[in-house]
Amino acid sequence: MDWDKLRIFHVVADAGSLTHAGETLHLSQSAVSRQIRALEESLNTTLFHRHARGLILTEQGELLFEATSSMNRRLETAAARIRDSEEEVFGDLRVTTTTGFGTLWLAPRLGRLYDRYPDLKIDLMLEERVLDLPMREADVAIRMKEPSQADLIRRRLMNIRMRLYATPDYLEAAGRPARVEDLSSHRLISQNPATPQVAAGAALVHSLMSHDIRSTLTVNNYYGVLQGVLYNLGIGVLPDYLTEDFPALERVLPDIESSDVPVFLAYPEELRHSKRVAAFRDFVMEEIIAYRKRRVDDGAV
């Protein structure tokens, strides 16, 4: 069906008059009549009974008017929700980030965002593959590298480093290494250098592996590395952002660490005015600022 003809039909049916409908639509009576006649021909039915006092819907016209009325209500509802979205935060938000950052830093903090905006529906996509934001594979990304696409809005959140950590129980039992060469008598837990990860982390693991490590456990994400460390399997290469939530971990060989890894938040230009994106962006920025302040106060940086 021709949407424009349906719109004209709806106005005519609502007004009950070609003249009044023409005034509403800013069309001549003859133009409105031609559109209604064309719609009736396309449907092979009569939609109006015509009489001296105006137009009365036929049974078929009543069915069509019921349908166009429903469509009109839905359109008005959608328009209202679009207007409301400029003031309120609700609906679907697709967020992508790495498995490590998503499970170890972001997910534990999302409760505070839901407290603020209980009608948000967040789809958290955790994978090392960089999803295409301009192609709308996700709405917002937090990545350990500056995005390369030019049509993205980006904010640098912080820098992280990969460092060595173990539990006090493990170190009491296996001994605390005093120099990097001492790692050869320990089990090293890390991401497999061949798996997708930040280059700085892979370079650190590659350097450590050159010291004739006795035993290793490699995992394809930092959540798995952390579990190995917490269960006293050895010394792990982990990002420094997790120490706030796991304060019992003890840093090993404080002079050994990766180079800085920048963390960026990015989203498409077309979502610049999205209240959902703005709410998530502001929440993450607040959490990062508070996190950095606590690290400074604790002397961790």
Question: Is residue 77 predicted with pLDDT exceeding 70?
Answer: no
For the stretch 180-226, pLDDT in tens is 999 999 999 999 888 888 889 999 999 999 888 989 999 999 999 99
Question: Burial of 178 by CB count in 10 Å (0-12 exposed, 13-18 middle, 19+ buried)?
Answer: exposed
Tell me, what's the pLDDT at 125?
94
For the stretch 170-193, pLDDT in tens is 999 999 999 999 999 999 999 988
Q: At what angle do helices 29-43 and 3-15 cross, to 10 degrees?
A: 120
Tell me the C-alpha distance between 225 and 191, whole Å: 7
Tell me, what's the pLDDT at 94?
92
Residues in contact with 245: Cβ distance below 8 Å, sequence separation at least 6, in sequence order: 104, 105, 108
Give me the mean pLDDT over the 17-42 stretch.
91
Name the band, by pLDDT with cuts 50, 70 and 90, for residue 83: low
